[in-house]
Amino acid sequence: MLIAAVFYVRYRTLPTPRTLSKYFNPCYATARLKPTFISKVNTAVQLILVAASLAAPVFNYADSIYLQILWCLTAFTTAASAYSYYHYGRKTVQVIKGR
């Protein structure tokens, strides 16, 4: 959903004429996304989950309750992050004028 929202914001903030070369040009910034605190926490938790999941078979804790709690925590922070972008939507996107 977040990626679809970014594509939508990019389309809406691109001045006319809208071309594919302007749309996909990373040097032509039209909006700035301000991440919420929970989204930063979510990113950290997801990275910890990836590292822990990859290390689990090596250190023989694949069935650990702590790993399962980390999975649940990651699911919760992901849902909370999605809700924060939904709730604060317009406050997290700053349109860059004059481009």
* Cα separation, 90 vs 94, whole angstroms: 8
Q: Per residue in 5-36, pLDDT tens?
A: 778 888 888 888 888 888 888 887 788 778 89
pTM of the model: 0.71
What residues does each domain of the chain span?
A: 1-90
| Model pLDDT, residue 38 | 94
* Cα separation, 49 vs 78, whole angstroms: 12
